[in-house]
Every structure is written in structure tokens, then in C-alpha cells.
Amino acid sequence: MEFRNIVEFVAATRWEAENLRGMNMTQGASGGFLVPEAFRDALLKVNYNAIVRPRATALQPGETPDAPLSIPALRQRSTRALSGMRLQWTAEGDVKQETQAAFDEIILKPKEVSGYCTVTDKLLRNSSAENYINTLIGNSISQAEDEAFLTGDGIGRPLGVLNSPARVEVDRLNAGQIEYADIINMLARLIAQSWQNAVWVASVTVVPQLFTMVSPSGHVLFRPGDGRNQSFAGFPLAVTPVTPDLGQRGDLVLCDFSKYLIKDGSGPFIDSSAYFGRLFEENKSIIRATWNVDGQPWIRQPLQLTDGTEQSAFVILR
């Protein structure tokens, strides 16, 4: 059985599930059929709204996609390097001294996440609805991942940057506000190695304060874009509904997500069904998408300047 697009595949999980099982199509632990490779890339194509994944260090599923994966994590306190190596210049004829990298171990074990939505049976029979289905499922995946990668507690889900032991937190000047001094203090806590990659992540509730903020000399910090390329205080600005509201810890963060690891597991798996009752009478079906993923910061603790000041790739306003 060949499918011309993802809509035909989803429809087959609804009306031809037995045929799919007969084709030995891969099924997930919680049910559903593995999306064919031909459609997977389009479905998982980085959504323009995704914040973390397109900027993170993503690891492919591999031959055993849901097995734990051990990754060396940097264990050091100095901000002079992020390699864990002690570096030296060696003159000709001098003996090179041994250096030893200091690594901890990060275990990434993909966790299962699933989402549900209701669509009409007529839509599932309309092969031209491919963009709609891709957008519907793709946007759901992007938002679920962003929420976990930003705020997750690491228990049955990824560990988000807001709960990372590597984070540094900056106390705001006045409760319920974000002021120019807060921005300067956050920038001062960002490690030098992250200035090329860092991005502001702001709750939608802080937008009015950021957009109208000016420096003491009258310089406007916000630079408008097309919704994807706007900047604030010289760094890209991403706005999201999944972080805490204005005045709460984490309403504004400054992050270098290249220091965040994502391990993709199996999936996505898709199935659909109609339950007897109201949905059946209204000719509607439920689509379920399931996939497996894990993530956590690559660095394990804040780094320290010679004066004792702590810096990080993850700076949180508190």
C-alpha cells in the first residue's frame, strides 16, 4: 500500500488499520503506526515557531532509538574555555604535559509524549488537506517540546533550562516589572562563549514592557522584524506562551541553546479512530500522535570568573 501524502496515511490508520498491520508496519509501544520516512521530514520540519529545537544540539534516533544514551557533560568552573582541557603553549623541544578532560555523564532516555485532536471524516478523505495535517501535528509537537525544554522538571519528561543546575538567576530591581537595569544585569551573567548564539525567550505577557523599553540615553532596545527576526538589546527575541507570566521567575530568560542536548527517540506514530457516541454521529475522528524525546542542558553547573561571579549559558530573571 502506497500513500501519496500524510493525509492518506492518517486516513488509513482510521479505516484500514488491519491492512497496515498486515503490512508489518512498525507500531509504537502505546499503539499507532510509524509515519513513513517520506512524510516524516515534512511533519517534523522545524516549525518557524519552534524556539529550542532549531537552536539546540540534536542527536539522531540511531539503531536503538529509545535506548538510553550516555553523553559526556562538561564539568568545570572556569569560564576561560568550555572544553574541559588544560591548554598550554609548548616550545620546540619541550615535553608536552598530559592534560585530562573533566567530564560528567549525561544519560538521555527518550520519554513518550502524545497529543490528540478531533477532525472531520470528510477532512481525512480530502488528500489536499496535507498542509493542514502537517501544520496541526507539527505545531503541537513544537509547542510540547518547547514547554518541556524550557520548563520541564526532568521527571518523566525532559529537564528544562529553568530547572537546570547550570542556570544563574538575576534578581529583578522591582517586583512585577522588567527594567533596563535588569537587562544589563542579565547580560553581565552570560558567558562570553554564548554571545554568538544567545536568544531572549520572553513570555507573551512581558511584550509591552520590552517593546517600549529605552536606555537612559533614549535608545530603543527593541528592533521589529517579521515575527521571526526581531531583536532586543542586540540579541534575537523569541516570544512564547509556555513560560511564566510577567513578574514570575522565568518570565524572561537569555539562553544559548547550542548548550542544550536533545535526543530523539522513535516516532512519530499516528493512529486515528472514531468512538461511538457524539463523535460517531457527527462523522468525526480522533487523531493521536505519539513520539519519544529527551533533553537536558549540556553543562552541569554555572561557570565562575576569577572574582567569583557566576556566569552561565542560561540566565534567568527572578
At 276 the pLDDT is 47
Rg of the chain, C-alpha, whole Å: 23
**pLDDT per residue as tens digits for the range 102-120:** 567 899 999 999 888 888 8
Q: Alpha-carbon distance 65 to 294, whole Å?
A: 11
Note if the bond before 68 is cis, omega within 30 degrees. no
- pLDDT computed for residue 99 by the predictor: 54
- Predicted confidence at residue 138, as pLDDT, reads 82
Q: Which DSSP symbol is given to 87?
A: P
Taking only the tens place, the pLDDT of each residue in 199-246 is 999 999 999 999 999 999 999 999 987 666 799 999 999 999 999 999
C-alpha distances out from residue 93 to 35, 96, 280, 312, Å:
60, 9, 82, 39
What single-letter DSSP state applies at residue 291?
E
- At 143, list the grid cell: 509547542
**Distance (Å, rounded) from C-alpha 4 to C-alpha 21?**
19
Task: Give me the amino acid identity at 17.
Answer: A
Give the pLDDT band of residue 20 (cuts 50, 70, 90). Answer: very low
Q: Given CA atoms 230, 236, 238, 243 in this order, what sign does their dihedral have?
A: negative
Contact 46, 36 (CB under 8 A): no
Q: How long is the chain? A: 318
Enter the DSSP assignment of 168: E
**Contact between 301 and 106 (Cβ < 8 Å):** no
7 near 133, Cβ under 8 Å?
A: yes
Rounded Cα–Cα distance for residues 76 and 84 (Å): 6
Residues with Cβ < 8 Å from 309, sequence gap 6 or more? 189
The pTM (predicted TM-score) of the whole model is 0.83
pLDDT tens-digit map of 35-71: 777 777 767 665 657 899 999 999 988 888 999 999 8
Would strands 303-304 and 284-297 be described as parallel, antiparallel, or unpaired? unpaired
80 contact partners, CB below 8 Å, separation of at least 6: none
Nearest to 112 by CA among 265, 295, 287: 265
Nearest to 158 by CA among 40, 37, 59: 59
pLDDT at residue 19 above 80? no
Boundaries of every domain in the chain = 1-76+103-318
Name which residue leads in pLDDT, 247 or 11. 247
Judged by DSSP in three states, 194 sits in helix
Residues 143-182 have pLDDT tens digits of 999 999 999 999 999 999 999 999 999 999 999 999 999 9
CA pair distance 83, 80, nearest whole angstrom: 9
